Structures are given as structure tokens and as C-alpha cells.
Copies of this chain bind each other. A is one copy, B any other.
């Protein structure tokens, strides 16, 4: 029986490098969680690993697949609505994978598969920084750029379940190549992997000496953190590049605030967390770009649930 009379859900989070599962109470509290590094990324192996870890946390918490109220899993990829089909999982190397069915075969129960940032937006809107908000835009800048939308109190997934793809808003025609195969997406400019690539190219061209120094002189160590350090130390090249990135990201997000008129905007992810200066520049540009009325009506917040947002949100989105 659920402790304290609360329903319990089983949540999963399938990222690029880790697989996590947790038993989550309906108030969002994580009762028990486990994490393993992802080694074999073939879909059936991932489903088997996740099922194994799920059985483990269920056992440790005295629950079973039959006693939890639902199973929800966030996946870093494009998910086709409620079908459990992963259209594209770029970091997993997946395309058209029926992960929902694979996992169902392992656990004997149909899981809800959702995009990881949609799950994070749901988690933050139910039990996190945007608790009680009916309209939330969440934008995370990590190795990639992604987003999630809660509109009118519901997760907005769109016609095909792939709404919220903020990272693939295009900012420049024929611009920088993006991991999605297209060009000019905002992710190609400010996603963590792409920042590192852009900095390496800068240094290969003989520029960015202060940034390279901040990376200990090792081009392989170039990252947003090195850029931030050089900018904070006053290096003009670093300040200019970081400012441009803040302008680009603030532009995209500010226009979303104009069109969607959210109550809450959550900006998070490893890159923004590790680059407070970029977060500041981005926020400044959001204030220049978004409509005045919309700006008065929105609170810009940091996430409250940290790494757990997707795990908690996926659990709370699970089918009953």
C-alpha cells in the first residue's frame, strides 16, 4: 500500500549517458531512485536495463508493477504523441524506435513515453518552480537546446507530439550545421556541444587565446565554462562571443514570450547553470525582445527540481 495514502508512480529518464528510474509519490517526492551509466544503446538492451532497474526500485520500496498507479519515461528525443514511438533520439542514435512497446514487453505494463523536457516542464509546473502556473515555457540549454510547454494547465505536445522544440528554431538561413541535419538552428549556436566546436574552430584559426588559456591550453577542454571564465576576466573576444550567444538565445525565447504570453519562464540546463554571464545576457535580451505587456506578466525563474525534473514529471504524467 502507498505510504501516507499517496498514489505512487514509477518514473524513468533516459538521457544521453545515464538511465535513471524512481518511485515518485503524487506530491512529487522521490521515494527511491537509482541510476546507471548507459553502455549498450541498442533499444532492446536499453529496455531490458531499464526494466531491471525498475524492478530493483520497486522491490526496495515494497511495490510492484501492479501496485504503482502508472509508469512514465522521459526520453531525450522526438516522441510521436502517446504511441511510445521515438522518432529521433539523436544522442542515443535512435530513429523510429518503438521504445514504449519494447519496455511494455519487459515490464508487462504500458508506459507513457514523453520527451524529457516536456516531462521536466510538467514536473516544474506541478511540484517545482512554476507550481500552480497554467502557462509555462521551459528552455534548457545543455549539450543541446530543448524546451517544454505547459499551456492552459496541460502539457502541449502538438499534432505529432513534438511541440516545444525550441532548439530547432532557426535563427540564420543556411547558418551553422545542427545535429538535426538542418542549418541555422539556435542549438547550433548555443548548445554545449556546439559551443565547444565553435571554440575549437576559433582557436584553430589562431584566435581566442584567452579562452584557450582558460581551458588550460587544451583544445579538447574548450567549453562554455572556459568561455565564461575568459569573459568574466575581461577578454574582449570572449565577451563579444558570449554577448552574441545571449542575443541569439534571448531573441528566440523573447519572441516565444510574446506569442505564448506565459506566466512563468524557466531557464535552465547545464550550460546556463555553468555560465551565469550567459544567463544574464540572455535575460537582458529577453527584456529587449519580448512585448512589454507580456514581460510584465511573466516571471523568469531557475528550475527548482534540478536533474530530477524530468524523472518526476514523467512519473506524474504516467497513465493511471
**Residues of chain A at the chain B interface (Cβ within 8 Å):** 78, 87-88, 134-135, 147, 149, 151-152, 154, 156-166, 168-170, 173, 180, 182, 247, 251-252, 254-256, 258-263, 288-289, 291-294, 296-298
Contact = CB atoms under 8 A, between A and B. Distances in A.
The count of identical subunits is 2
- The 9 tightest CB contacts between A and B, nearest first, are A158-B261, A163-B261, A159-B263, A160-B297, A169-B255, A159-B297, A135-B159, A162-B261, A170-B289
Contacts of A151: 151-152, 156
A170 B251 CA distance: 8
A295 to B, nearest CB: 10
A258 B293 contact: no
Contact of A163 (B87, B166, B169, B259): B259
A97 to B, nearest CB: 15
29 contacts: A78-B293, A135-B158, A135-B159, A147-B259, A151-B156, A152-B156, A158-B261, A158-B262, A158-B297, A159-B261, A159-B262, A159-B297, A159-B298, A160-B296, A160-B297, A162-B261, A162-B294, A162-B297, A163-B260, A163-B261, A165-B258, A166-B259, A170-B255, A170-B258, A173-B247, A173-B288, A182-B291, A182-B292, A256-B259
Most buried by B among A87, A164, A165: A165
